[in-house]
Amino acid sequence: MDNPKQRYKELGDFLRTRRAKILPSQVGLPEGTRRRTIGLRREEVSFLSGVGLTWYTWLEQGRPITISSQVIESLARTLMLDKKETMHLYNLARLTPPTEIATYDNTVNPMLKHVLDNIEFSPATILDQRYNVIAWNRASEKLLYDYNKLDTSKRNMLRIMFTNEEYKKTIIDWESTAQSMLARFRIAYGKLVEDPYIKELVEELKSESKEFNSWWTMHNVEMEEEIVKSITHPILGELNFEYTSYMVLSDRNLKMTILTALPGSDTEKKIKQFLLG
């Protein structure tokens, strides 16, 4: 027989032990000299995961509160849970885990992150199959968007494209670009149609974006392909790129996207002057 009280206590204890294992430096926070808490503080976990501090405190205290798949996903990413730990967290929350669970420890393989960081003048990002932004390089942060501005739970490329007004203003011909991304996502959706996280994401975007809600009903699909993409940078003006994407062989749930300066344009010259200046 299920014992909800014991299950919630187990969930809270599990989160607390995993919080204690994460050093502030691992998530970009200062260590501090007067720090008494081992690992992360509750308020740091709530901030990084995009959930309220009171709500998260209640969760660790074992109170019977409602938990969504998106929150589980966000907590797993913040606490750098591996696949076994993430599956356990889903089970404790009495939620159906997705068919494929990404690995959150250290964000991406260090060797893959090294490759990303060494692509100096081309914005590059790594996305998971749900279009969550897992990692990005300096060129992407300086030329496209600084994902550090967003809570971990909000770093979803589809969400950014349709609901982030700051990002939308940088896209030349946003409507066409957004429709194309949605059509490519529809292919991924076909494989993840029963994924609770995806279901919640789609429902939220349908309510938050009238364009998404309208275009989603069209069921348009596109395969991943090389395209030309143009953006407007607040300092550099118009930048034109060739967009390519590559599956990560070590983890088929991930793909790397790279924007390379369009040959014959002045984009490469602008970028080098900007990033080196």
State the pLDDT at residue 199.
86
Please tell me the distance from the alpha carbon of residue 202 to that of residue 183, in angstroms, as a whole number: 13
Statement: residue 246 has pLDDT above 60: yes
Statement: residue 103 has pLDDT above 60: no
State the pLDDT at residue 261.
97
SS (H, E, C) 116-179: HHCCCCCCEEEEECCCEEEEECHHHHHHCCCHHHCCHHHCEHHHHHHHCHHHHCCECCHHHHHH
Mean pLDDT on 66-81: 87
Please tell me the distance from the alpha carbon of residue 102 to that of residue 104, in angstroms, as a whole number: 6
> Are the beta carbons of 108 and 126 closer than 8 angstroms?
yes
Pair of tokens at residue 227: 């395209």
Judged by average pLDDT, the poorest of 15-29, 127-141, 157-171 is 15-29
Mean pLDDT on 118-128: 95
Please tell me the distance from the alpha carbon of residue 81 to that of residue 88, in angstroms, as a whole number: 10
Query: 214-243 pLDDT, tens per residue?
Result: 999 998 888 888 889 999 999 999 999 999
Query: 24-59 pLDDT, tens per residue?
Result: 877 777 766 566 777 888 999 999 888 899 999 999
Statement: residue 121 has pLDDT above 70: yes
What mean pLDDT is reported for the chain? 87
Query: 145-191 pLDDT, tens per residue?
Result: 999 999 888 899 999 999 999 999 999 999 999 999 999 999 888 87
State the pLDDT at residue 106.
39
State the pLDDT at residue 100.
60
Burial (Cβ within 10 Å: 0-12, 13-18, ≥19) of residue 45: buried
For tokens 């990692």, what's the residue?
135
State the pLDDT at residue 124.
97
Mean pLDDT on 71-84: 86
Mean pLDDT on 76-102: 80
Checking 221-226 for CB contacts under 8 A at 24+ apart, the result is 221/183, 221/184, 221/186, 221/187, 222/180, 222/183, 222/184, 222/186, 222/187, 223/184, 223/187, 224/184, 224/187, 224/255
* Structural domains of the chain ordered from first start: 4-92 (1.10.260.40), 110-276 (3.30.450.180)
